[in-house]
DNA sequence: ATTCGATCTTTACGATGTAAAGATAGGGAG
DNA sequence: CTCCCTATCTTTACATCGTAAAGATCGAAT
């Protein structure tokens, strides 16, 4: 009976199928609030528009609000339009995650470039990592919290790979070694995994509010960034770097 | 018109409302495959049964398959029964996460008890952490990946708090310091956050398959556990423990 | 024994992902 | 210039989910 579907998926509303051959009336007053407005009927760049809409929805309503239908609404098209461009929800999330990884990589790269010394660069990278996640928690959630990602998609695979390569290179530079693309020593692997695990773990715990207990027991006004810095620079006083 | 709802939520099926006052016929052949069988009509221990059913569903169908209705089906009750005991999905997930945290804490505690030396104990704890997550990825996902958890629930709050306390004590023991409940130095906080971030980050990356790239570049047959051990024991050769 | 409250079931509704079929336009081939 | 083909977008439909509300059922207190 299609109770909820026929209602009004977008403000476009019914044009009894059959009437209105191809006049101008069909191309008026669409596209909710999207700056451009007045696009041709066949959107022309719907794919990009959907990705931007998805980013807006994600920032506005969080991960839970990011649905295929919500994105379609935001873009002012029918709820089934995204399927044509992304296949399914996994497809949309994967492409959006790829966008996120590119932003993420760019943020870390520019932070590193701005750092004068190698040591400053070593600190700039993890700081930029956490800063990006704090500034874009939804995007970070898509990239690292969702199960629905398809890494066989070239765009996502490449963007994520680039992120990993940046990390590996940074570690290689610190150890003054050349990190080979196809083989690693156990020590190299351990160094990379340690760095990644530490920063990634810190970030997820921070975003999940799991570090609040620690932060509020620290000396007055200690920020998360300060704690991270201390994690990275405090001398290891025990037998294990734990 | 209730097309899909009336169909057959469980195998119980229709007993035209009004007939069958309270005879024995109403208490036969229910409870799908649950060992016990033959429970009274008012289940008696539905809450516990639902939690166990949820655990089974989680192991069988993963996080995505864990729905209120699936749990009700598994327990052989109507789809709305769980709501009465847990309020909503968040409630069920929270109580299930509490169960998980208790299993998790018990696993780490027994691993520590079995370790002879302090150093062995220091290694046993993170290993047990990762081992639990690998053995129960769904449960670990509920505990650390879901947004839908309500930490104001006493059972979850206590179980998670106990987990944190165990970690803090282990770090305190390694540093040969008494970790106070209400105040931490920056160094102490950094040590705790470093340990937790490292192990938690490693675990999530491992479960997400993000470490595959590293593992297959390592010397033939290096396991995740071996990599973790190396992360924890390899000497720091750079200026930062990164 | 009767009533009351806790437990469980029915029924209903809006939302979502996805499939399938219809409408629409832009671009060639004749 | 006209006609058709194909990619793009819309309609329609349906199973499933979470949740609310009302009805049925039973144990226990009065």
Reply yes or no on whether the pLDDT at B38 is more than 70: no
The tens digit of pLDDT for each residue in B101-136 reads 999 999 999 999 999 988 888 899 999 999 999 999
| A123 within some domain | yes
- What mean pLDDT value characterizes chain A? 85
Q: Are B129 and B208 part of one and the same domain?
A: yes
The tens digit of pLDDT for each residue in A206-240 reads 999 999 999 999 999 999 999 999 999 977 766 66
Tokens of B182: 């209400």
Contact A54, A61 (CB under 8 A): no
Q: Which of A87, A115, A147 is the last residue of a domain?
A: A87
Give the list of residues 6+ apart from residue A106 with CB closer than 8 angstroms, or none: none
Return the closest nucleotide (C1') to the Cα of A2.
D13
Q: Which of A25, A58, A87 is the last residue of a domain?
A: A87
Q: Are A112 and A168 part of one and the same domain?
A: yes
Cα separation of B39 and B35, whole Å? 11
Q: Are A125 and A219 part of one and the same domain?
A: yes
Contact A197, B130 (CB under 8 A): no
Instruction: Mean pLDDT check: name the lowest of A13-17, A188-192, B39-43, B228-232.
Output: A13-17
| A187 within some domain | yes
- Confidence label for A121 from pLDDT (cuts 50, 70 and 90): confident
Higher pLDDT, A1 or B154: B154
Percentage of chain A beyond pLDDT 70 is 80
| A239 within some domain | no
Reply yes or no on whether the pLDDT at B228 is more than 60: yes
Neighbours of A187 (CB within 10 A): 14
Residues of B in contact with A222 (CB under 8 A): 186, 189
Owning domain of residue A228:
88-233
Contact A232, B242 (CB under 8 A): yes
Measured between CB atoms, which of A197, A211, A226 is closest to B202?
A197
Reply yes or no on whether the pLDDT at B235 is more than 90: no
Q: Are B93 and B145 part of one and the same domain?
A: yes
The whole-angstrom distance between A34's CA and the closest CA on chain B is 30
Q: Are A228 and A122 part of one and the same domain?
A: yes
Secondary structure letter of residue A222 according to DSSP:
-
Return the closest nucleotide (C1') to the Cα of B75.
C8
- Confidence label for B238 from pLDDT (cuts 50, 70 and 90): low
Q: What is the pLDDT, as a whole number, of residue B35?
A: 36
Q: What is the pTM of this model?
A: 0.87
| B77 within some domain | yes
The whole-angstrom distance between A188's CA and the closest CA on chain B is 9
Q: Are B57 and B116 part of one and the same domain?
A: no
The whole-angstrom distance between B189's CA and the closest CA on chain A is 6
Q: How far is the CA of A9 from the C1' of D12 (A)?
A: 12
Render A110-148 in DSSP notation, one character per residue.
Answer: HHHHH--SHHHHHHHHHHHHHHHHHH-HHHHHHHHT-S-
Q: Are B149 and B183 part of one and the same domain?
A: yes
Q: What is the mean pLDDT of residues B65-81?
A: 97
The tens digit of pLDDT for each residue in A60-97 reads 999 999 999 999 999 999 999 999 999 999 999 999 99
Higher pLDDT, B52 or B242: B52
Q: Are A110 and A171 part of one and the same domain?
A: yes
Q: How many CA atoms lie within 13 A of A103 on its CB side?
A: 16
Tokens of A124: 């700039």
A125: nearest Cα among A140, A114, A134, A135: A114
Q: What is the pLDDT, as a whole number, of residue B135?
A: 98
Main-chain dihedrals φ then ψ at residue B134, nearest 5 degrees:
-70, -35
Q: What is the pLDDT, as a whole number, of residue B34?
A: 38
Check residues 64 to 93 of chain B and report those whose beta carbon is under 7 Å from nucleic acid strand C.
Answer: 72, 77-81, 84-85
**Closest residue of chain A to B141, computed from CA coordinates:** A145
Query: What b/e string do you get for A56-95 counting C-beta neighbours within 10 Å, with b at 16 or more?
Result: ebbeeeebeebbbebbbbbbbbebebbeebbeebebbbbb
Element (H, E) at B49: helix B46-65
| B9 within some domain | no
Which residue's CA is nearest to the C1' of nucleotide C15?
Answer: A4
The tens digit of pLDDT for each residue in A21-70 reads 333 333 333 333 333 344 455 677 899 999 999 999 999 999 999 999 99
| A66 within some domain | yes
Q: Are A142 and A59 part of one and the same domain?
A: no
Q: Are A70 and A136 part of one and the same domain?
A: no
Higher pLDDT, A123 or B37: A123
Residue indicated by tokens 């991960």? A63
| B15 within some domain | no
Q: What is the pLDDT, as a whole number, of residue B22?
A: 36
Q: Are B135 and B78 part of one and the same domain?
A: no
Percentage of chain B beyond pLDDT 70 is 80
- Confidence label for B18 from pLDDT (cuts 50, 70 and 90): very low
Top mean-pLDDT range of A13-27, A112-126, B81-95, B167-181: B81-95
Strand D bases contacted by the protein (CB, 7 Å): 8-27
| B189 within some domain | yes
What is the distance, to the nearest Å, from the Cα of residue A146 to the centroid of all Cα atoms in its chain?
A: 11
| CATH number reported for the structural domain that contains residue B150 in this entry | 1.10.357.10
Cα separation of B196 and B108, whole Å? 14
Instruction: Mean pLDDT check: name the lowest of A108-122, A126-140, B151-165.
Output: A108-122
Asked if the Cβ–Cβ distance from A63 to B147 is below 8 Å, we say yes
Reply yes or no on whether the pLDDT at B210 is more than 80: yes
Q: What is the mean pLDDT of residues A123-140?
A: 97
Render B171-233 in DSSP notation, one character per residue.
Answer: HHHHHT----SS---HHHHHHHHHHHHHHHHHHHHHHTTTTHHHHTTSSTT--HHHHHHHHHH
Cα separation of A149 and A147, whole Å? 6
Cα separation of B54 and B66, whole Å? 7
Percentage of chain A beyond pLDDT 90 is 71
Q: What is the pLDDT, as a whole number, of residue B41?
A: 53
Cα separation of A183 and B215, whole Å? 10
Q: Are A111 and A225 part of one and the same domain?
A: yes
- Confidence label for B37 from pLDDT (cuts 50, 70 and 90): very low
Reply yes or no on whether the pLDDT at A14 is more than 70: no
| CATH number reported for the structural domain that contains residue A73 in this entry | 1.10.10
Q: Which of A55, A87, A119 is the last residue of a domain?
A: A87
**Closest residue of chain A to B225, computed from CA coordinates:** A190
The number of distinct structural domains making up chain B is 2
Cα separation of B153 and B171, whole Å? 27
Residue indicated by tokens 């024991």? B233
Q: How far is the CA of B81 from the C1' of C21 (A)?
A: 39
Contact A105, A162 (CB under 8 A): yes
């Amino acid at each position: 009976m299609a109770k909820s579907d026929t209602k009004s998926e977008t403000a476009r509303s019914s044009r009894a199928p059959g009437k209105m051959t191809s006049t101008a009336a069909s191309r008026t007053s669409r596209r909710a609030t999207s700056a451009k407005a007045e696009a041709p009927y066949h959107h022309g760049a719907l794919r990009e528009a959907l990705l931007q809409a998805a980013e807006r929805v994600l920032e506005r309503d969080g991960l839970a609000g990011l649905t295929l239908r919500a994105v379609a609404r935001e873009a002012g098209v029918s709820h089934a339009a995204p399927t044509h461009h992304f296949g399914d929800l996994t497809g949309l999330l994967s492409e959006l995650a790829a966008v996120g990884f590119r932003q993420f990589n760019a943020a870390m790269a520019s932070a590193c470039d701005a750092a004068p010394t190698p040591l400053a660069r070593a600190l700039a990278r993890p700081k930029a990592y956490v800063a990006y996640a704090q500034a874009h928690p939804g995007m970070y959630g898509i990239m690292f919290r969702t199960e629905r990602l398809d890494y066989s998609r070239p765009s996502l695979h490449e963007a994520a790979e680039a992120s990993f390569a940046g990390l590996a290179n940074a570690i290689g530079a610190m150890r003054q070694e050349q990190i080979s693309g196809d083989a690693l020593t156990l020590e190299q692997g351990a160094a990379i995994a340690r760095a990644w695990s530490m920063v990634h773990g810190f970030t997820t715990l921070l975003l999940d509010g799991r570090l609040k207990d620690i932060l509020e027991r620290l000396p007055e006004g200690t920020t998360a960034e300060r704690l991270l810095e201390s994690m990275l620079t405090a001398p290891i006083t025990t037998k294990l770097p734990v």
